[in-house]
A and B are shown apart, each in its own frame.
Chain A
Amino acid sequence: MSSYFPDSEMKTESPVSGVSRRDFLKFCTIMTATMGLPAGMVEKVMAAVENPKRPPVIWLHFQECTGCTESLLRATHPTVEHLVLDIISLDYSETLCAAAGHQVEEALHASVEANKGNFILVVEGSIPTADNGIYCKIGGKTAMEILKDIGPKAAACVAIGSCASWGGVQSAYPNPTGATGVSELLKEVPVINLPGCPASPYNILSTILYYLTLKKLPALDGEGRPVFAYGRLIHENCERRPHFDNGRFAEEFGDEGHRQGYCLYKLGCKGPETHANCPSILFGDVGSNAWPVGTGHPCFGCAEKGVGFHKPIHEQAAVYTVAPPATYPDFDEPKGKGIGVGAALVVGAAAGAAVAGGLKFSKVLKESDNSEEKKN
């Protein structure tokens, strides 16, 4: 801590204005934990946050409901003003910009040119591709054109929400606009998918801070999602899992099992096939135990491609696991006992004695045979 307090005097104010030191430390600790970094990394995270050179962020909106931004705005760890004013330099966001029209377009392009190759591009919303993408236009340009123009100039791209990650609700059958995720269209720079409807604000904060702290992207899974947030199935960490394991299921809404908090699998919970950290950090930072399964509704799989908006809400989940758990026995589980030391000794000694005895005895008999022959 000494590096932060050279005068060795405990400051009550953090370097970030308006936040108490205590709250700041708490924030950094939470972020560190969410990213799955060791506790010792808190200092580095603090240093990254306090770095006066804030990374420029450009936030594009396409086909979406602004739910991801809204949920981020309501996050309290940190507050969004802290985020946009102190941690990052949010150079462009249609929702948060005070300016409008040509003025803001200009700001966007100025920032893109100024920070070429350095800024983080955040995309919210899917990109319509049907009919040359005419279903979503900003400043006369289609979403496809905007992404093609700005995307390759970014250092990295974060696709926030299920829409930007894999198409989201707009990609539901019959998908009239040809809604597509960012990673399908933008191949020039790394794309980090943060699916969820809306995406958990902590996951985007953690991703950005990870980048700021370690100057590299977090480890991603095959779907381009940070492993620290999407590495596990909801089913694996679910607080109702013991009920699943014990065969206790809510049969319908409001029945005795449902009141008892039994597993919601039979009501169509998609936890077994959805990767997200909702059971651990809950949903949207709205309060204790507040995530769908916690409130008694089955997870509907908003974060998982091909599940949310694609499967009927009350259809039973296919139990999708990357690998079945190790603790099921195999068919050829080693069973029974093999040779032991004592047994080996006894058998060896007996066999040895028998062979030696037999040979000796055979020799005796041979001699007697010989003497017989001589006699005859």
Chain B
Amino acid sequence: MNLDRRDFIKVLSTGVLAAAGAEKALAAEVDRYKRSPEAVGILYDATICVGCKACEIGCKQANNLPVEHSGLDEYHGVQNIWDSAKDTSPNSYIKIKVHKDSSTAKKDQFENGYSFMRTACMHCIDPDCVSVCPTSALIKDPVTGIVSWDIDACCGCRYCQMACPYLIPKFEYDKAFPKIEKCFMCSHRVKDGGIPGCAEFCPTGATLFGKFADILEEAKKRLTLAEGAEYSYPQHTLDSGKQTPKKAAKYIQYVYGEKDGGGTQYIILSAVPFEKLGLPKLPDHSSASKSEGLQHTIYKGMIAPAVVLAGLAVAAYRSTNQEEKEG
């Protein structure tokens, strides 16, 4: 019995040691990624979005995506909507959703108001999907920072779906040879100096494409506007020359995506609390940084496993030899 207790304590202390290492690792891996200076991004300003869904059309045209029906029409008691995905899906990289509160009398207010929200890939700085993908099928472009998917690599394990805090990667459950689909910020157009279909089609400038540093600066500038102040909102890109003169709404003093989940390249402004718009409250670091921190600590240079294996081998050698002698 004494012996067992000792073993028990041994096991327990090993666990505590490992845990202490883990705690240290968690701190180490935070803040490990920075945005590339050439990173591109999208600024979505919910206060000037008019919910026209032109971005969805622009996206479908730019990426040759078919229309789809998901039962949204029946659910809302209307019929024959020609395109009715409930959420982003393999055929819809963007979805304009709405938050409604009771009387929905006024746009951009929380109580008795409503606000649109454009759900699409956030293109995280430290994407959980990229970190967890066992086949490196999700790739973050080192220059533009665009997160895209590699058809030749993916094994369809859907860990990216489990890990994504925004539920963005979508899987073709209805296909025998399925793919993961998500917004890749029209990297095929951006590569040639173009802009994403959504930004091209947006009539108000609610979806604004540009260098990340520039759009962040633009977002911060908008936060300084007083409610009702006249402001010329640029359309498509910052330097397109087209503008929408408009009175500023009462912004929530926060740029969603600047730091959330370690930061994103798709940033959002709104007058309605972000958590009401389907955007989770996240810490300032990605979940992936935690799991990687743990992994990297335990398996650093494979030293710890090698040491453990050596110990195990010695122990096993002793017991098997003894066994043979006895046997």
Query: Which A residues form the contact surface with B (CB < 8 A)?
Result: 244-247, 249, 251, 265-266, 272, 312, 315-320, 322-331, 333-335
Query: Which chain B residues lie closer than 8 Å to A326 at the CB level?
Result: 76-78
A-B contacts, 22 of them at CB < 8 A, read A245-B57, A246-B54, A246-B57, A247-B53, A247-B54, A247-B55, A247-B58, A249-B54, A251-B242, A266-B203, A272-B50, A316-B204, A318-B107, A327-B73, A327-B81, A328-B51, A328-B96, A329-B85, A329-B95, A330-B97, A331-B276, A335-B86
Query: Which chain A residues lie closer than 8 Å to B55 at the CB level?
Result: 247
Q: Specify the chain B residue showing the minimal Cβ separation from A247.
A: B54
Query: Which chain A residues lie closer than 8 Å to B72 at the CB level?
Result: 327, 329, 333
A247-B55, A335-B86, A335-B87 given; A320·B107 CB < 8 A: yes
CA distance A335 to B204 in the complex (A): 31
Interchain nearest-CB distance for B236 vs A (Å):
11
Q: Which of A315, A317, A328 is B97 in contact with, Cβ under 8 Å?
A: A328
Assess the B98–A330 pair: CB atoms within 8 A. yes
Interchain nearest-CB distance for B200 vs A (Å):
8
Q: Which of B58, B75, B84, B98 is A334 in contact with, Cβ under 8 Å?
A: B75
A249-B203, A322-B105 given; A331·B117 CB < 8 A: yes
- Tell whether B116 is near chain A: CB-to-CB under 8 Å: yes
CA distance A292 to B81 in the complex (A): 28
Q: For window 52-86 of chain B, which residues contact chain A by CB distance below 8 Å?
A: 52-55, 57-58, 72-73, 75-78, 81, 84-86
The residue among B52, B97, B202 with the most chain A CB atoms within 10 A of its own CB is B52
Q: Which of A244, A272, A324, A327 is B84 in contact with, Cβ under 8 Å?
A: A327
CA distance A318 to B113 in the complex (A): 14
Q: Which of B52, B54, B114, B204 is A323 in contact with, Cβ under 8 Å?
A: B114
Interchain nearest-CB distance for B95 vs A (Å):
6
Query: Which chain B residues lie closer than 8 Å to A331 at the CB level?
Result: 97, 99, 117, 276-278
CA distance A55 to B164 in the complex (A): 70
- Tell whether B246 is near chain A: CB-to-CB under 8 Å: yes
Interchain nearest-CB distance for A276 vs B (Å):
19
Query: Which B residues form the contact surface with A (CB < 8 A)?
Result: 50-55, 57-58, 72-73, 75-78, 81, 84-87, 95-100, 104-105, 107, 114, 116-117, 201-204, 242, 244-246, 276-278
Assess the A245–B54 pair: CB atoms within 8 A. yes
Assess the A324–B57 pair: CB atoms within 8 A. no
Q: Specify the chain B residue showing the minimal Cβ separation from A251.
A: B242
CA distance A330 to B100 in the complex (A): 8
CA distance A326 to B57 in the complex (A): 19
CA distance A320 to B50 in the complex (A): 9
CA distance A15 to B132 in the complex (A): 84
CA distance A215 to B25 in the complex (A): 81
CA distance A249 to B201 in the complex (A): 9
Query: Which chain A residues lie closer than 8 Å to B87 at the CB level?
Result: 329, 333, 335
CA distance A315 to B97 in the complex (A): 25
CA distance A25 to B116 in the complex (A): 47
Assess the B52–A247 pair: CB atoms within 8 A. yes
Query: Which chain A residues lie closer than 8 Å to B75 at the CB level?
Result: 333-334
Q: Known pairs A316-B203, A324-B98, A333-B75. 15 more at Cβ < 8 A?
A: A244-B54, A245-B52, A245-B54, A246-B57, A265-B50, A318-B50, A318-B246, A327-B78, A327-B84, A328-B98, A329-B85, A331-B117, A331-B277, A335-B86, A335-B87
Assess the A315–B95 pair: CB atoms within 8 A. no
CA distance A333 to B74 in the complex (A): 12
CA distance A265 to B201 in the complex (A): 13
Q: Specify the chain B residue showing the minimal Cβ separation from A265.
A: B203
CA distance A87 to B246 in the complex (A): 48
Query: Which chain A residues lie closer than 8 Å to B201 at the CB level?
Result: 247
Interchain nearest-CB distance for A327 vs B (Å):
6
Query: Which chain B residues lie closer than 8 Å to A312 at the CB level?
Result: 245
CA distance A319 to B99 in the complex (A): 15
Query: Which chain B residues lie closer than 8 Å to A328 at the CB level?
Result: 51, 96-98, 116
Query: Which chain A residues lie closer than 8 Å to B78 at the CB level?
Result: 326-327
CA distance A15 to B78 in the complex (A): 45
A329-B95, A331-B117 given; A315·B246 CB < 8 A: yes
